[in-house]
Structure 1
Amino acid sequence: MSSPQVTYDAVVAARELLADVVVHTPVLASRVLSEAVGGPVHLKCENVQRAGSFKVRGAYVRIARLSDEERASGVVAASAGNHAQGVALSARLLGTKATVFMPEGAALPKVEATLGYGADVIFAGRTVDEALARAKEHAEQTGAVIIHPFDHADVVAGQGTIGLEILEQLPDTATIVVPIGGGGLAAGLALAVKSLRPGVRIVGVQADRAAAYPASLAAGHPVLVEPFSTMADGIAVGRPGELPFELIHYLVDKVVTVTEEEISKALVLCLERAKQVVEPAGAVGVAALLAHPQAFEPPVVAVLSGGNIDPVLLARVLRHGLAAAGRYLAVRVLLPDSPGALAKLLADLGALRVNVLDIVHERFGSSLRVDEVEVLLQLETRGPEHCDEALSTLRRDGHRLMLG
């Protein structure tokens, strides 16, 4: 099973090329996901790959297959971060100069890592697609070879080596859940897996704020969509690649989308239960399993495609994920403006074993009467049932509550 440009043999050859370059990443069993799905679920941990994601596989294969003359002209790429690091590391290993165009606002750790591998970084545009247009201009002006993040046969073949590893590590796999941005990873993985095990079901996952594939598959060809802002910046691609689309159209069984809230819940689970630091784009497969556990036939493998997350974003996303999981609660309480009222509220919260994270005591406001004050509380609870218990008990004790 192959496309005119990519074959199973090309994936096998790519694996030989990568043998001493990439990490043979582990698969870890997840008890909590297995219980939700009703059968074995494993996580393929590309978040611990060199340069922090699967991207180094395709980038290295592409650059390694350039001629000496082409490598002497340097390479250029466009990326929100992971492809940038993969290209920068591969170029360093292969002795060529790399220039990377990154969207303005790209995560600082990804920028610093790309620079650390020796690449030149130029900021261009708000999206990967805009940065890619600038990279193409640079290639035309300088003669540098463009290393496309997903729309090239060598890149697709390199990413497909993950599929070979999964089937060797877990031969009885029934379903593989994989993130999709431009489609290089899903396309290569599907080609490798379906060539060996046609019955394995491949499910692609996109962030619903940047989901080009559902519309493209419905149209029968790649179409451009305007991606909205999403925490899953690594898969925020406006238009599928021609080559990946062809393979995904024929080989991927289904493409689903997940919300920002579902992604944040998945990140919390990866950290708390799997002990894996994963970026939002890398966690969308886990998000899909959590959102629709009965839709996936076990044994399931979810690919954690990358772990390069900005600590500032991680803190924000974790807070969002904990709120979505019922672990954080924001509530406003109207109290009488009298001595001891606030102390009583805090004592009642303490009795409920609710932790107060933040408190704002507002004495003046157009909606407040002269004899009352408003208290805004950020609370930490043990989960949804504890939230409900705390709210009902506070109301029963006479506190006037407003959520928000």
Structure 2
Amino acid sequence: MPAPRTPFARQCLAARDRIGPLIRRTPILTDPDTGIHLKCENEQVTGSFKARGALNALTALGPGAVVVGSSGNHGIATAWAASRLGADATVVMTEATSAYKRNRIRRLGARVITCAGGNNARGDRVAEIAAATGAVPVSSYDHPLVVAGQASVGFEILEQLAGATTIVVPVGGGGLLAGVAAAVEVAGRRVRVVAAEPRAANDTALSLAAGRRIEIDPPVSVCDGVLAQTPGAFTFPLIRRLVDEVVEVGEDEVLAAMQELAVLGLTVEPTGALAFAAARTLPAAAGTVAVVSGGNVEPAEFRRLTGASRYPARP
């Protein structure tokens, strides 16, 4: 692996080494119908890739109180990491977020506060709590330590699949996308990085087209994990420089991908099927990997969306 050339590149490598013993090296499976490889972060600790960034951030920051905004998975991951490290965690969520995810966060010992409005209003509430209590705000996507932790997904893919040619990554605020793209750059591999975004929540596509961060109204999509209203201030420059393409995906395409993954025995939430949905629209090519980002979905909702007669057991 080439020597890292920037402080952030070194931070990504440090994160990989720091969290490696504490997270799962998730498997790569292959969809037999399309040949698309699936990086199964739905089998990660806490059920999503978010465990990587949250654990890296809280470990590096040390003991103390943190406050985060989350649609669910970052909150679950932060609560889990805080419980391991003896930290105090508060999670701010909009009123529209999943009760299933809110309850998981509470069971892990974190405090949950709900607010009206979209993700921007949630961010304002996080800032208010941080100012009032001294808790450290840790963005779900726009924090260097979080992005560095997510880069470990990219490092693993490149180590597990020597023939990787394209990595398709879901994007909301851009933490996972920026991290994977940074890992590809650090590794010096000629691998295309493609963003997958809901057509109904396409702030990244609009921002890249405009050459600047665009803010959209609070979006509505079945992909509740990627409802950012604007790309992150830290992540957007990385995405603009390192990402090759954005594929916008319709709601029906996401649900069809989710159903296909269920047939393969994978419990995947809608956002977790987003990259696979996008990958299925690309020209067939060997070495295409879709990051299945998470599997935290309430069992009855999973059955409703997929038509599955059973809820696959999580490893």
TM-score (norm 2): 0.93
Other structure's SS at 2:61 match: coil
Q: Is the 8 A contact 1:136 1:146 kept in 2?
A: yes
Q: Is the 8 A contact 1:59 1:155 kept in 2?
A: yes
- Sequence identity of aligned pairs in percent? 39
Partner of 2:289: 301
2:89 counterpart of 1:98: yes
Q: Distance in 2 between matches of 1:144 and 1:200?
A: 39
Q: Which of 130, 149, 164 does residue 173 from structure 1 map onto?
A: 164
2:266 counterpart of 1:276: yes
Q: Is the 8 A contact 1:47 1:307 kept in 2?
A: yes
Q: Is the 8 A contact 2:69 2:75 kept in 1?
A: yes
2:186 counterpart of 1:195: yes
The alpha-carbon deviation at position 3 of structure 1 amounts to 9.2
* Alignment: residue pair count: 306
Aligned AA (1:14) = A
Q: Is the 8 A contact 1:3 1:247 kept in 2?
A: no
Task: Choose between structure 1 and 2 for higher RCO, CA contacts under 8 A separated by at least 6 residues.
Answer: 2
Q: Which of 47, 66, 76 does residue 52 from structure 1 map onto?
A: 47
- Superimposed CA distance per residue, residues 181-218 of structure 1 (whole angstroms, 9 cap, x where no aligned partner): 10000101001112224410010001111110111111
Partner of 2:313: none
Q: Superposition pairs for residues 257-336 of structure 1, below 5 Å?
A: 257-272=248-263, 274-290=264-280, 292-294=281-283, 297-318=285-306
The alpha-carbon deviation at position 23 of structure 1 amounts to 0.6
Other structure's SS at 1:151 match: coil
The alpha-carbon deviation at position 55 of structure 1 amounts to 0.5
Aligned AA (2:92) = F
Change (3 A) 1:261 1:313: same
Q: Which of 59, 62, 66 does residue 61 from structure 2 map onto?
A: 66
Partner of 1:6: 8
Aligned AA (1:235) = V
The alpha-carbon deviation at position 109 of structure 1 amounts to 1.7
Partner of 1:364: none
- Superimposed CA distance per residue, residues 279-333 of structure 1 (whole angstroms, 9 cap, x where no aligned partner): 111111111123x241x532111100000112343233225x9xxxxxxxxxxxx
The alpha-carbon deviation at position 173 of structure 1 amounts to 0.3
Q: Which of 69, 85, 96 does residue 76 from structure 2 map onto?
A: 85
- Superimposed CA distance per residue, residues 58-101 of structure 1 (whole angstroms, 9 cap, x where no aligned partner): 1111111114xxx33x1100001000001111111111110000
Q: Is the 8 A contact 2:94 2:115 kept in 1?
A: yes
Partner of 2:29: 28
The alpha-carbon deviation at position 6 of structure 1 amounts to 1.9
The alpha-carbon deviation at position 15 of structure 1 amounts to 1.1
Aligned AA (2:270) = P
Q: Is the 8 A contact 2:72 2:225 kept in 1?
A: yes
TM-score (norm 1): 0.73
Q: Is the 8 A contact 1:5 1:153 kept in 2?
A: no
- Superimposed CA distance per residue, residues 330-363 of structure 1 (whole angstroms, 9 cap, x where no aligned partner): xxxxxxxxxxxxxxxxxxxxxxxxxxxxxxxxxx
Other structure's SS at 2:21 match: coil
Change (3 A) 1:293 1:147: same
Q: Superposition pairs for residues 187-266 of structure 1, below 5 Å?
A: 187-266=178-257
Partner of 2:17: 16
Q: Distance in 1 between matches of 2:4 and 2:125?
A: 32
Q: Is the 8 A contact 1:209 1:229 kept in 2?
A: yes
Aligned AA (1:6) = F
Q: Is the 8 A contact 1:43 1:303 kept in 2?
A: yes
Other structure's SS at 1:32 match: coil
The alpha-carbon deviation at position 229 of structure 1 amounts to 1.3
Change (3 A) 1:253 1:3: farther
- Superimposed CA distance per residue, residues 253-303 of structure 1 (whole angstroms, 9 cap, x where no aligned partner): 00111000000100100001x21011111111111123x241x53211110
- Superimposed CA distance per residue, residues 8-62 of structure 1 (whole angstroms, 9 cap, x where no aligned partner): x21111011102211110001111122xxxxxx2100000111110001111111
Q: Is the 8 A contact 1:53 1:305 kept in 2?
A: yes
Q: Distance in 1 between matches of 2:190 and 2:96?
A: 42
The alpha-carbon deviation at position 106 of structure 1 amounts to 1.4
Q: Distance in 2 between matches of 1:155 and 1:228?
A: 24
Where do 5+ consecutive residues of structure 1 fail to align? 35-40, 322-404
Q: Distance in 2 between matches of 1:137 and 1:160?
A: 29
Q: Distance in 2 between matches of 1:100 and 1:3?
A: 35
Where do 5+ consecutive residues of structure 2 fail to align? 309-315
Partner of 1:115: 106
Q: Distance in 1 between matches of 2:304 and 2:282?
A: 26
